[in-house]
Structure 1
């Protein structure tokens, strides 16, 4: 190294405020061995010094750099406005920090992060400029790659039809997608996870339970699934700890359509079961009527046989009696059992919900169906579908009668309450009594569509050891009461 270079370096070190005036070579050694690329230029922007790190960064030898303007590194990729802003800052005596796209000796480009500091002499004049250069190409590429990944991730998340949320260890949201934001907007701006009571309902969600949420005046059904997320900590305080704070990925799917389809399927199945119950009750009732009618001539044949004596010599009489007995036995064997489901204890609220689902839309065009429970905790016992068949028979009768009255506004109420060991169901309607002709004569009960539903209801209720009561209301209309014994009344057990 020449004496002139040594003089420039010592002078520069002195101007910059040497680490120690007694040990000028110490500061020079530090600059030489520093991993950061450093240059020193004079006021005419000519390089008077460059350390080895700068030579390695650019590929130039020190001899190629001395007395050269740093513009030799310019790649023509940096906008002129950046250089203009840099010199304006330096000429005002301020330090400048920024990025320049520079060119190495081999023509390759790199992104340099540069700090340039004016070096002031003892009289306050700028004598040199010291620059520290850092090649941040790899760091910039990594940042861009991370930004691209984040952009891609956000794009993917926002195009997923399900709502996606990431929560921290305190169940606070740290990331969400567009679908989740839309659901929150549909909830009036309220946080959807709060409405779902996510922290308290985690176990139910993990079991696959679907939850209803009111949105924009309608009920939507949502399923919630969650997974633990692996990750790394972003906090400096956890640098030496190989664990990250837990994160949870939550996916919320709208299952409303599937729920409606399942509900429609369940209602269709329920309709089939009710129809089966009605059909079995009708067949049983018809066969019972036939047995009663058959018993009359059989009783007459039996009396004639007793008068004929013990020798049974009247062959025709004996043959007729045997044929009658066999016919009676065949009819008995053909009577279907009404036990087509196991008796059980069931809540009345879901049963009344099924009645609404089955009949509310049928009553709406011609009137109203009001369904109430005295208590939401009421329970029934027996064959649930049979009781639904009883309720269905009477509601079908009510609709059929109302359809025959022009411009009639039908008002029907179904009410249930517990009374002294019974569950009582009350049906009340406003159908004029002149429209009801069920009991004009006993034969009316045998006319198709005339009173048959009462006999079928009576058959099903009697099978449950219950009773029915039918009477007219003082203000017009009919009141039907079904009474079914409670479970503890049948078993003698505690309530």
Structure 2
């Protein structure tokens, strides 16, 4: 027998009728052997039939269920509003689906997902209710356990001070924590990973890297580390495939405090090295001054010896001259070497960055100390710490003089340029060159207690075969010019 399912709306009923005629017990057998619990009640919810699956699920036998109201299974744990909603729907001859907490014969509870369908005759009169229910207690418990794990994981992640984020194979975020959201808020709503250029740097970040980022106007140092995560497929198309698309765990830690401590430690070591260099220069300059002063009487003794001839009769004169020569030699041997580090080529910008960091607080958070390079690629040659000490000595002098002036705001400008094989540095400030208690000439800086800085600068610059020049500025203040030979001018080629 053929059935036209597409053209006739009553085809399903005709099929059912035909099957009933051909196989009278088929539908009963199907219901009896169905794995889902099925029951049939009258309009008052009295049970007229229950299949074996229903009996197994509830713990009641069929004889114990027949003619019993379905409320036999009620546990008093389901809110009344659920039952009210159910009956409002059923009385409108509409099917209802929901979850009820039912009680088995042994008083154990289970969560049932129930579908109830009103059964009406051809006149539209209600005759029965057909109910099918499944015990979803196990799946609900698993769902709740998963939800608890997710809640616990989310709580743990949100209490981690580091930003934690998981990205998929396209670097799109699939999970993040509260710390990451806070970073994004500090960036004005921008994605932190985008600002860190994560996609381009991802390969390097697997080894861990510290990156600077401006947040709310301040530089923060962030340590970024990545790990590959074993993925779990969520797509139906990958049900039979073991492999899953890769995901990446990214942990971003704010290590600004540690970075600042490391930087401060580096600056402290640099200060110590500069202090050592200044001290050696001071000792050397003092010994050189002593040698100059000692050289005059020794020369006079030598001249007297020549006038007395070579007969050796003047023993005292000869002894004095020899002791003077030995004293000169001892002083020469005591002169410390200024070569405390290897001469090298280094970028000038980093030198000035260190200088600004060293004088950050002394110059009103660095605002009154400006540095300008003729080219960002300028390099210097020599002992970097000593040249930094030269600049530091002059800034110390200007700050010291400015502190003696009332209602005075210090400004210092540094300009660097390469010219004719020399690296020229101009240090200009608005501090008057001539103080009232000194003579009216640039030599006033060499007065007791005020000229030591300039003499030490001269010693260090001379050690680098450089030149120094000091001038008054027409608009007031001073300008110190330091010139250092570049590498190629000393070697006759480029490095």
Under a length normalisation based on structure 2, what TM-score does the superposition of the two structures give? 0.92
- Pair 1:201–1:436, CA change in 2 (3 A): farther
Alignment correspondent of 2:472: 472
Alignment correspondent of 2:145: 145
- Pair 1:278–1:469, CA change in 2 (3 A): same
Alignment correspondent of 1:20: 19
Alignment correspondent of 2:221: 221
Q: 1:339, CA displacement in angstroms?
A: 0.6
Q: 1:449, CA displacement in angstroms?
A: 2.2
Does the 8 A contact of 2:209 with 2:225 survive in 1?
Answer: no
Q: 1:231, CA displacement in angstroms?
A: 3.3
Does the 8 A contact of 1:16 with 1:119 survive in 2?
Answer: no
Aligned mates of 2:217, 2:191 — CA distance in 1: 17
Does the 8 A contact of 1:380 with 1:423 survive in 2?
Answer: yes
- Pair 1:367–1:180, CA change in 2 (3 A): closer
Does the 8 A contact of 1:415 with 1:425 survive in 2?
Answer: yes
Q: 1:151, CA displacement in angstroms?
A: 1.0
- 1:453-489 per-residue CA deviation (whole Å, 9 max, x = no partner) reads 2221111111112111112222222211111112222
Aligned mates of 2:448, 2:109 — CA distance in 1: 98
Matched, 1:128 2:99: no
Q: 1:176, CA displacement in angstroms?
A: 0.9
Residue aligned with 2:148, SS: helix
Alignment correspondent of 1:493: 493
Aligned mates of 1:330, 1:203 — CA distance in 2: 61
Q: 1:445, CA displacement in angstroms?
A: 7.1
Aligned mates of 1:144, 1:212 — CA distance in 2: 42
Does the 8 A contact of 1:438 with 1:451 survive in 2?
Answer: no
Aligned mates of 1:445, 1:290 — CA distance in 2: 20
- 1:78-116 per-residue CA deviation (whole Å, 9 max, x = no partner) reads 122211211221111111101111111111110010111
- Pair 1:442–1:83, CA change in 2 (3 A): closer
Alignment correspondent of 2:387: 387
Which stretch of structure 1 is more off in the superposition, 97-106 or 406-415?
406-415
Residue aligned with 1:363, SS: coil
- Pair 1:442–1:50, CA change in 2 (3 A): closer
Alignment correspondent of 1:174: 174
Aligned mates of 1:443, 1:434 — CA distance in 2: 9
Does the 8 A contact of 2:417 with 2:425 survive in 1?
Answer: yes
Aligned mates of 2:236, 2:62 — CA distance in 1: 39
Residue aligned with 1:431, SS: coil
Q: 1:404, CA displacement in angstroms?
A: 2.5
Aligned mates of 2:324, 2:279 — CA distance in 1: 26
- 1:140-176 per-residue CA deviation (whole Å, 9 max, x = no partner) reads 1011111111111111111111111111111111111
Between the two proteins, the alignment pairs up a number of residues equal to: 483
Q: 1:441, CA displacement in angstroms?
A: 8.5
Aligned mates of 2:447, 2:215 — CA distance in 1: 51
Q: 1:368, CA displacement in angstroms?
A: 2.5
Q: 1:431, CA displacement in angstroms?
A: 2.5
Q: 1:234, CA displacement in angstroms?
A: 1.2
Alignment correspondent of 1:59: 59
Matched, 1:189 2:166: no
Task: Within 5 Å, give how 1:36-47 maps onto structure 2.
Answer: 36-47=36-47
Q: 1:207, CA displacement in angstroms?
A: 4.2
Residue aligned with 1:424, SS: strand
Aligned mates of 2:265, 2:487 — CA distance in 1: 30
- Pair 1:293–1:478, CA change in 2 (3 A): same
Q: 1:444, CA displacement in angstroms?
A: 6.4
Aligned mates of 1:59, 1:366 — CA distance in 2: 84
Aligned mates of 1:445, 1:308 — CA distance in 2: 44
- 1:344-391 per-residue CA deviation (whole Å, 9 max, x = no partner) reads 111111111111112232132999222222222111111111011100
Q: 1:304, CA displacement in angstroms?
A: 2.9
- Pair 1:399–1:375, CA change in 2 (3 A): same
Does the 8 A contact of 2:207 with 2:226 survive in 1?
Answer: no
- Pair 1:262–1:181, CA change in 2 (3 A): same
Matched, 1:423 2:423: yes
- Pair 1:174–1:229, CA change in 2 (3 A): same
Residue aligned with 1:210, SS: strand
Does the 8 A contact of 2:94 with 2:117 survive in 1?
Answer: yes
Alignment correspondent of 1:7: none
Aligned mates of 2:233, 2:444 — CA distance in 1: 84
Which stretch of structure 1 is more off in the superposition, 416-425 or 427-436?
427-436
- Pair 1:81–1:366, CA change in 2 (3 A): closer
Q: 1:258, CA displacement in angstroms?
A: 1.6
Does the 8 A contact of 1:438 with 1:450 survive in 2?
Answer: no
Structural RMSD (CA) = 2.4
Aligned mates of 1:241, 1:337 — CA distance in 2: 73
Aligned mates of 2:38, 2:138 — CA distance in 1: 19
Alignment correspondent of 1:5: none
Task: Within 5 Å, give how 1:328-477 maps onto structure 2.
Answer: 328-364=328-364, 368-435=368-435, 447-477=447-477
Aligned mates of 1:268, 1:249 — CA distance in 2: 37
Aligned mates of 1:274, 1:137 — CA distance in 2: 76
Alignment correspondent of 1:315: 315
Q: 1:442, CA displacement in angstroms?
A: 11
Q: Which runs of 5+ in 1 are unaligned?
A: 1-12
Aligned mates of 2:316, 2:67 — CA distance in 1: 145
Alignment correspondent of 1:256: 256
Aligned mates of 2:481, 2:18 — CA distance in 1: 105
- Pair 1:120–1:65, CA change in 2 (3 A): same
Q: 1:16, CA displacement in angstroms?
A: 12
Under a length normalisation based on structure 1, what TM-score does the superposition of the two structures give? 0.92
Q: 1:242, CA displacement in angstroms?
A: 0.9
Aligned mates of 2:350, 2:382 — CA distance in 1: 15
Aligned mates of 1:437, 1:481 — CA distance in 2: 25
